[in-house]
Amino acid sequence: MSKMQKKSVEDLNAKGRKVLVRCDFNVPIKDGRITNDKRIAAALPTIQKLIDGGARIILCSHLGKPKNGPEDKFSLGVVGERLCELLGKNVIFAKDDTVIGDNAKKAINEMQDGDVILLENTRFRAEETKNGEAFSRELAEICDDYINDAFGSAHRAHCSTAGVTEFVKGETAVGYLMEKEIEFLGNAVENPERPFVAILGGAKVADKLNVITNLLDKCDTLIIGGGMAYTFMKALGGKIGHSLVDEDKVEYCREMKEKAGKLGKALLIPIDNVVARDFPNPIDAPIEIETVHSNEIPDGYMGLDIGEETRELYKKALGTAKTIVWNGPMGVFENPQLAAGTLEIAKTVAECDAVTIIGGGDSVAAVTQLGFADKMSHISTGGGASLEYLEGKTLPGIQVIQDK
Ligand code: AMP
């Protein structure tokens, strides 16, 4: 692993200090109940470290997308309750429609070392997403030091993820979760053990243009699957029926293929495909499928998964890999008849003797749904953030943190 340049929670001497921790508590909630608390659980190591170190911990996060200020259904109250259970410790929920109103200030004033307070949803303040100075200053005023542990929000320059650091008097650092993301994703892209194989899938080329460009530069082999494969196929003159295609990215795909050739890198696209007449509706409905060679998808059919020969080809390419980054499913994995390609690749990646990184979004859902999550070296917690990282962008929520 490369050494992380940013100051970490490990480097803070937080005893008796008020530490504001930006977490990612943006959990799914249905009928007032949390349906998946992974993100809360993921924040615990940093919080526990601060409790053990005798800090006074003030947690903040956004939840959902409240449009016009406070809305009960976006209150962080339920998160506070779950936090109490998971930490086995009282967490004071400082309910305040303005996030830092009298109630929150009073609770903060009365804190003892080791106490934990949770502030209300930062997006109850309209300035939050505009990175407005007034709210950034207010956040900075209630703390001595600041920690960002919200990787899922690190690609956004908001008050609580970035702006606040301009006004914090003491130290700024990243938490354990953020540190892990930086080490795995950053290392894979910047300093991978080779061969480095990147797998990209999912729906559209257009959504992942910069990821393709950046990863082609950095990796040794780039494997393409999912809907985006058909734009590549079309670019190479193939017959793709009515498969998903980004017409205005055909030229881009041709250029990428040419670039791969010049760089002496392998850019693999499917050689056979599982096809059907239509996209399944609903997505998991039974459908009639068959397998055809690439470039020969008949009119009236669309490619919805990689075929068996392609799975073998991709498995071979993954066999010697020492670093694997995967973003995006190989097919419409939500349908059991179209999940085989993604399943086979997930199984192969899980069994590889390599650093294996699943880069957010639907690939995480696929790997989890198919039961391979605990076999991977790292599963990124941030969808958009991990994509931007793989694009080679500097994420504002990381950039603003002090270097060691
Ligand atoms: P993304 O969010 O870009 O990673 O895309 C994930 C979605 O792509 C999943 O919901 C898949 O069902 C879908 N997908 C994968 N392969 C195909 C395909 N061949 N045609 C259409 N959609 C696909």
What is the C-alpha separation between 150 and 27, in angstroms, rounded? 12
C-alpha distances (whole Å) from 349 to each of 46, 140, 324, 398 are: 29, 43, 8, 29
Phi and psi at 391, nearest 5°, equal -75, -10
User: Tens of pLDDT along 41-62?
Assistant: 999 999 999 999 999 999 999 9
Given a contact cutoff of 8 angstroms between Cβ atoms, the answer to whether 124 and 72 are in contact is no
Q: Does residue 382 contact residue 391 with C-beta atoms inside 8 Å?
A: no
Please state, in angstroms and rounded to a whole number, the distance separating the CA atoms of residues 75 and 368. 28
φ and ψ at 34, to 5 degrees?
Answer: -75, 125
The whole domain housing 25 covers: 9-178
State yes or no: is 384 an active-site residue: yes
Query: What's the structural domain count of the chain?
Result: 2
Q: Looking at the predicted structure, is the pLDDT value of residue 398 above 60?
A: yes
What's the mean pLDDT when you consider all of the chain?
A: 95
Same domain, 172 and 207: no
Residue 183 counted as domain residue = no
Q: Is residue 103 part of a domain?
A: yes
Residue 326 domain flag: yes
Structure tokens given for 199 = 């797998």
Domain C-terminal end among 135, 150, 178: 178
Pocket test for ligand 1, best of 362, 367, 369, 370 (most atoms within 8 A of CB): 362
List all residues whose CB is within 6 A of at least one atom of ligand 1: 202-203, 207, 226-227, 244, 303-304, 328-329, 331-332, 334, 361-362
Q: Distance between CA 24 and CA 373 in Å, rounded?
A: 20
Ligand 1 centre to CA of 203 (Å) is 4
Query: Reduced to 3 states, what is the DSSP secondary structure of residue 323?
Result: strand
Residue 325's nearest CA partner among 233, 234, 389 is: 389
Q: Is residue 240 part of a domain?
A: yes
The CATH number for 299's domain is: 3.40.50.1260
Nearest CA to ligand 1 atom 3: 202
**Residue nearest atom 21 in ligand 1 by C-alpha distance:** 227
* 304 and 223 both lie in a single domain: yes
Task: Write down the pLDDT at residue 1.
Answer: 42
**Same domain, residue pair 362 and 248:** yes
Q: Give pLDDT, residue 14.
A: 96
Domain shared by 352 and 203, yes or no: yes
Looking at 186, 384, 392, 393, which residue is catalytic?
384
36, pLDDT greater than 60? yes
Q: Kindly report, residue by residue over 114-158, the tens digit of the pLDDT.
A: 999 999 999 999 999 999 999 999 999 999 999 999 999 999 999
Last residue of one domain, picked from the residues 178, 204, 225? 178
Q: How many CB atoms lie within 10 A of CB 87?
A: 16
CA distance 289 to 203: 19
Q: What is the mean pLDDT of the segment spanning 99-114? A: 97
What pLDDT is attached to residue 361? Answer: 72
Asked if the structure places residue 396 within a domain, the reply is no
* pLDDT > 70: percent of the chain: 99
| Average pLDDT of the residues in 211-215 | 95
